[in-house]
Amino acid sequence: MPKFEIRRPVKHSAEKMYALVADVEKYPQFLPLCEALAVRSSKERDGKTLLVADMTVGYKAIRETFTTQVLLNPAERIIDVKYIEGPFKYLDNRWSFEPADGSPNAGPEGCVVHFYIDYEFKSMILGALMGSMFDRAFRMFAEAFEKRADKIYA
């Protein structure tokens, strides 16, 4: 039942950070443990996009693929991820991006990135093998996106 939550001020706008996280097909280029990501379907309605995507994560000889439903809501700058199938009992993930409102680490154009994830593996053995590595990776996600933004928006 690992859970992780962080609010991280960054120097890029909420719109830019939202766009970066919403571009899920680019994750294998920079995200820790992400080896592949394929969008199965994409549907738009009322200004929102609903994706169904398969993500393959790996560490050493272990590879796992899981399927999620990703709801992109650009008007509210929120990305909700719901688990469909794979090695987890459940996975709940949310990103939100808010104007920094003067946060000293974000700067005048920056925002605050809020990342939340709660998950549990189905298998206790897989949880023991991959749990601490997943925990470290999820803790690095927000930083990985910030570094990617620095590279793209520099």
Per-residue pLDDT of 27-67, as tens digits, reads: 999 998 899 999 999 999 999 999 999 999 887 788 889 99
Residue 107 has pLDDT above 70, yes or no: no
* 154 band by pLDDT with thresholds 50, 70 and 90: confident
**Which residue spans within 18-123 are E strands per DSSP?**
34-45, 48-59, 62-73, 78-85, 88-99, 111-121
Range of the domain at 23: 3-153
Q: How large is the average pLDDT for residues 136-142? A: 76
Element (H, E) at 9: strand 3-10
**CATH code, 44:** 3.30.530.20
More confident residue, 99 or 53: 53
Angstrom CA distances, 26 to 45, 80, 134, stand at 23, 18, 19
What is the residue whose two structure tokens read 């925002």?
111
Q: Give me the mean pLDDT over the 62-76 stretch.
A: 94
Return the percentage of the chain with pLDDT > 90, whole number.
64
Q: What's the number of domains the chain is made of?
A: 1
Going by C-beta distance under 8 Å and a sequence separation of 6 or more, which residues neighbour residue 128? Answer: none
Q: Which residue reads 């709801």 in tokens? A: 71
Residue 90 confidence (pLDDT): 94
Q: How confident is the model at residue 81 (pLDDT cuts 50, 70, 90)?
A: very high
pLDDT confidence tier of residue 131, bands split at 50, 70 and 90: low
